[in-house]
A and B are shown apart, each in its own frame.
Chain A
């Protein structure tokens, strides 16, 4: 069967379309999904493309089912994924808790919409807490926050390999702007970039007769005693901590000599980068830092950068969900954290430019929070 993408190709696509192509290119074999805006077109493109390449689709009765059928597909040894948003992401957390407990390599694409509740169908960065730390667990999962359609392509491909290599549920956290925005990008066959698929292996339905040729695979998420559970969770914690140095990703610019650092993630980081470039051009000592992995966060480099500046401006389209992660990462440091919170609203370069200008010109103090109470 022909490859979905031969070599490299310049295209002009919406983020949702990009995700479908990326999943095809990554060798995803089956998608399970339930309609919710703004991720619907991922399914629309997938259902049109998948049969041409021998891939499958199931429309489920809700996101609980979408998540649990994805688990079934993954346990059968298939590269399986789902996509959701907003209230669907809330329901998705139940199956993701099971995936976290059992280290199942599910891949979930999230296109954030406004919240809480039904919110808007359009845009926000308000699913950060849910996606990084949702469920009744400890957040043993990997979350990539993308900023452009090119990154959506790159990180959806990467997500499948990350999930199957490290065996933690893996999320690509986009948003409604990325989902619906049309942008130029290059799509490619991963092989031409030296990216080989990490092989998927079955948990259930392995070769041989269980109990005769091999022991049966018995998988559970329920334990009898506190001690039994504790051992399991600590095993997960050790495994998760061990992979952090390999998994974390970030982007930074103009951090040399910066007195103020603009910290943001996802699509807002594009506004932040533009603002920082303009501020630098105009002589302000400002740097740009953006974690690409929100779980795990690149804590080490964030702390190093935080020590070099007086202030950090945290810009996000939520009321402090990303800032809470930043504060935890920087706990104990004497750096002022200044919020620029616009829940459910886009952030433009001008918003960041003018806020930074105020902070530096005014030498403003007291409007922000100190990361910690002791140095």
Chain B
């Protein structure tokens, strides 16, 4: 029946651990599907290693048929950096949330980017801390109510949402690949992931993809409202697209596509 009524799971997914552990409506599943497809299409299952952070991303610790390590909060980038330095032939993927990448592990993101570490970092932006119950994150939108901003985030007190890819683009050289995708465009996201991985395969440099994602559980939104957040509201703060593409990756038939936009 598979392939007729529903599209097949990526080959690199571990079937035994499906259905996955994320909440209904969570964006992680879509992002991880796009990642699985990118791994399949590039034929990386035998050499890719997946590192996941603390927070909801840790639920992916047994998600793939890939060697996987679940690390500490914010520390997935250094674990993958250490692995890549020791085993350059592996394709090392650091998967984290916005708290892990932009708050507690920000120094690792900044320095790995500056050193042009040849890993691929993927950061899921759902505007708050999901696993701990919905506190303010660096990415929380102005006015957004969270458990630690119950009256809405006041930019006077706590600033504006972190512009992660913009920051990474600013501190990296021309060998880096930087993009922001969205779970609303999984086809485009898959292509972004493929380029981010290709940049590592080529041994060129640091790759970073932020993913606009959804957390209906903590946003307390229904399906319609959730998609309005993802498709309309979040892109007003977080511009979707490629910010930095090394010359060698341009025009190689992996141009951004959005044929799967719902």
Residues of A within 8 A of B (CB): 29-30, 32, 56, 58, 60-62, 64-65, 68-73, 75-78, 80, 94-95, 98, 202-206, 208-212, 216-222
Provide the residues of chain A in CB contact with B79, threshold 8 Å. 68-69, 71-72, 75
- Residues of B within 8 Å of A72, CB to CB, are 78-86
- Which A residues are in CB contact (< 8 Å) with B45? 209-212
Q: Is B61's CB under 8 angstroms from A209's CB? A: no
How far apart are the CA atoms of A205 and B66 in the complex, in Å? 9
B83 touches A205 (CB 8 A): yes
- Chain B positions within 8 Å of A218 at CB level: 61-62, 67-68
Q: Looking across the interface, which residue of chain A has its beta carbon closest to that of B69? A: A219
- For chain B, residues 60 to 74, give those with C-beta under 8 angstroms from any C-beta of chain A: 61-62, 64-72
Residues of B within 8 A of A212 (CB): 45-46, 65
Given A69-B81, A211-B45, A220-B61, the answer on whether A206 and B70 have CB atoms closer than 8 Å is: no
With beta carbons under 8 angstroms apart, the residue of A56, A68, A98, A220 that contacts B86 is: A56
**Which of A56, A65, A98 sits near B108, CB closer than 8 Å?**
A65
The CA of A221 and the CA of B85, in the complex, are separated in Å by 23
A210 pairs with B65, CB closer than 8 A: yes
Q: How many angstroms from the CA of A211 to the CA of B44 in the assembled complex?
A: 13
Residues of A with C-beta under 8 A to B62: 216, 218, 220
Minimal Cβ-Cβ distance residue in B for A217: B67
- Say if the beta carbon of B214 comes within 8 Å of chain A: no
Contact partner of B66 (CB less than 8 A), chosen from A94, A202, A216, is A216
B66 touches A210 (CB 8 A): yes
Most buried by A among B49, B65, B86, B89: B86
CA distance A50 to B36 in the complex (A): 38
Residues on B with beta carbons closer than 8 Å to the beta carbon of A94: 72, 75
Chain A contacts for B58, CB-based, 8 A: 220, 222
Nearest A residue to B21, CB-CB: A224
Per DSSP, chain B at the interface is mixed
| A residues less than 8 Å from B82 (CB atoms) | 32, 58, 68-73, 75-76, 80
Number of interface residues of B (CB under 8 A): 36
- Within the complex, the shortest CB–CB distance from A202 to chain B, in Å, comes to 8
Most chain A CB within a 10 A radius of its CB, from B49, B83, B108: B83
A50 to B70, CA, bound (A): 30
Query: Once bound together, how far apart are the Cα atoms of A61 and B72, in whole Å?
Result: 17
Give A142 Cβ to nearest chain B Cβ, in Å. 21
Contact A58 B83 (CB under 8 A): no
Quick check: is B14 within 8 A (CB to CB) of the other chain?
yes
Task: Please indicate the chain A residues that have their CB under 8 angstroms from the CB of B12 in the complex.
Answer: 211
Residues of chain B lying within 8 A (CB to CB) of residue A205: 47, 49, 67, 83, 87, 89-90
Query: Which 3 residue pairs spanning A and B have beta carbons closest together?
Result: A72-B82, A211-B65, A69-B82
Question: B78–A69 contact, CB under 8 A?
Answer: yes
Residues in B with CB closer than 8 Å to A69 are 78-79, 81-82, 85
| Interchain CA distance A70-B61 in the complex, whole Å | 20
Q: Pick the contact of A58 from B14, B67, B70, B85 — CB < 8 Å?
A: B85
Cβ–Cβ contact B65 & A216, under 8 A: yes
List chain A residues, Cβ under 8 A from B158.
none
- Bound state CA distance, A203 and B67, in angstroms? 8
Q: How far is the CB of B15 from chain A (nearest CB, A)?
A: 9
- A219 and B86 contacting across the interface, CB-CB below 8 Å: no
Residue B148 CB within 8 A of the other chain: no
Q: Is the CB of A64 within 8 A of B78?
A: yes
A56 / chain B contacts, CB cutoff of 8 Å: 85-86
CA distance A102 to B40 in the complex (A): 29
With the chains together, A75 CA to B84 CA distance in Å? 11
B69 contacts A204, C-beta separation under 8 Å? yes
| B67/A204 in contact, CB under 8 A | yes
Q: Return the chain B residue nearest A56 by Cβ.
A: B85
- A sample of 10 more A-B contacts (CB under 8 A), given A72-B78, A73-B85, is A58-B85, A61-B110, A65-B107, A68-B72, A80-B86, A94-B75, A202-B87, A216-B14, A219-B68, A220-B61
Residues in chain B near residue A222, CB distance under 8 A: 54, 58, 61, 70
Contacting residues, chain A, for B54 (C-beta < 8 A): 222
